[in-house]
């Protein structure tokens, strides 16, 4: 039987070689954009396995038009783009790529913390625009991190790595999660206390029905005027419009964002603010990590199609 796998975007790390060794045909979307729904259905309809991106909306309508699919491997830790109930009803296994991107995403989170705290954007623009007039005592004053409190929302692998980095900078750690995590550095506190007392707040939670808008306007209003807000999780877990309003009114000091509500159609009001650092969802964007993600996705598909268990299945 000729097994076929389709990837919805061109992937690094040559995953096709892994499929070739197993005698599995592999093809991928070579357009420099996400496929439209009808394009995805057309190209994946006869595939036994699919490697999808977080930006691919694989809802019940799409799933029901996949004639042979046995496994969908999401090239991401998140999987809120896939209708798990519909997949389960069709007997389709869904997998993701956890663990391999934890270090890279933690690095980006801490990069945003540093950049927001120390006015990196403004300083870089000053130099590029050739308007630096020399050192002065109050030039681009920012906040140091030593002795400050970092509040982590979430206590998974990424949050744990960010906490360890923060300890190296002499920060104090508090965190909130669904349960106390003994392996998590720092002290567990209620979410409202975290929002009100942290100097830096960094989000590390998945997007699901329990976390959508978890960081509500009321919680955002608890932040200190000197607080820095960082999100490398998902845009929808926080009230982005209210965050923008707080930044505009200087009710908080700064923000650092790598994710946005309704990506890629993010709120362009963010680009008008000089107290926010903006990145284009590059938390996992290292050569090593993106290759490892591709290989893990491919190996998940191979394992399922060869009759084995998925390596990193998602809970349905």
CA distances, 316 to each of 84, 95, 98, 249 (Å): 6, 10, 16, 42
Cβ pair 169, 145 in contact under 8 A: yes
pLDDT in tens, 151-165: 999 999 999 999 999
DSSP labels, 128-149: HTT------TTTT-----TTPE
Assign domain 102-278 to its CATH architecture: 3-Layer(aba) Sandwich (3.40)
Q: Which residue has the tokens 């399922």?
A: 304
> Where are the chain's structural domains?
4-98+287-305, 102-278
| 25-28, strands of its sheet edge to edge | 25-28, 4-7, 49-52, 71-74, 93-95
Q: Kindly report the number of other CB atoms within 10 A of residue 261's CB atom.
A: 17
For residue 4, give every residue at least 6 positions away whose Cβ sits within 8 Å of its Cβ, in sequence order, or none: 24, 25, 26, 27, 46, 47, 48, 49, 68
pLDDT at 315: 79
E strands within 8-118?
25-28, 49-52, 71-74, 93-95
pLDDT at 180: 97
Q: What is the CATH number of domain 4-98+287-305?
A: 3.40.50.720
Low-confidence spans in the chain with pLDDT less than 50? none
**Rg of the chain (C-alpha set):** 21
Cβ pair 94, 82 in contact under 8 A: yes
Provide the greatest CA pair distance for the chain. Answer: 73
Please list the active-site residues: 234, 263, 281
Same fold, 4-98+287-305 and 102-278: yes
CA 136 – CA 220 distance, rounded (Å): 34
Q: Check residue 34 and report its DSSP letter.
A: P
pLDDT in tens, 68-124: 999 999 999 999 999 999 999 999 999 999 999 999 999 999 999 999 999 999 999
């Amino acid at each position: 039987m000729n097994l076929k796998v389709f990837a919805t975007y061109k992937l690094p790390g040559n995953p096709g070689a892994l499929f070739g060794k197993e005698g599995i045909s592999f093809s991928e979307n070579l357009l420099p954009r996400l496929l439209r729904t009808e394009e995805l259905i057309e190209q994946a309809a006869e595939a036994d396995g699919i490697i999808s991106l977080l930006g691919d909306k694989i809802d019940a309508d799409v799933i029901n038009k996949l004639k042979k699919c046995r496994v969908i491997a999401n090239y991401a830790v998140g999987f809120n783009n896939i209708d798990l109930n519909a997949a389960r009803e069709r007997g389709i296994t869904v997998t993701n790529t956890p663990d391999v991107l934890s270090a890279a995403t933690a690095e980006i989170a801490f990069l945003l913390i540093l950049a927001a705290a120390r006015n990196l954007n403004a300083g870089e623009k000053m130099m590029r625009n050739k308007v630096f007039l020399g050192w002065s005592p109050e030039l681009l004053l920012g906040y140091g991190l030593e002795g400050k409190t970092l509040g982590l929302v979430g206590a998974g692998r990424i949050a744990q790595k960010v906490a360890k980095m923060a300890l190296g900078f002499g920060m104090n750690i508090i965190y909130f999660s669904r349960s106390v995590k003994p392996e998590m550095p720092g002290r567990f506190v209620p979410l409202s206390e975290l929002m009100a007392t942290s100097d830096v707040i960094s989000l590390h939670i998945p997007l699901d029905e329990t976390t959508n808008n978890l960081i509500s306007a009321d919680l955002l209003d608890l932040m200190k005027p000197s607080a820095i807000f960082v999100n490398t999780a998902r845009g929808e877990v926080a009230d982005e419009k209210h965050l923008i309003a707080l930044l505009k009114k200087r009710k908080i000091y700064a923000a650092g964002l790598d994710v946005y509500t309704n990506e890629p159609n993010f709120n362009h009001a963010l680009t008008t603010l000089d107290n926010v650092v903006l990145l284009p969802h590059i938390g996992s964007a290292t050569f090593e990590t993106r290759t490892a993600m591709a290989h893990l996705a491919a190996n998940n598909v191979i394992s399922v199609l060869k009759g084995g268990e998925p390596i990193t299945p998602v809970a349905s």
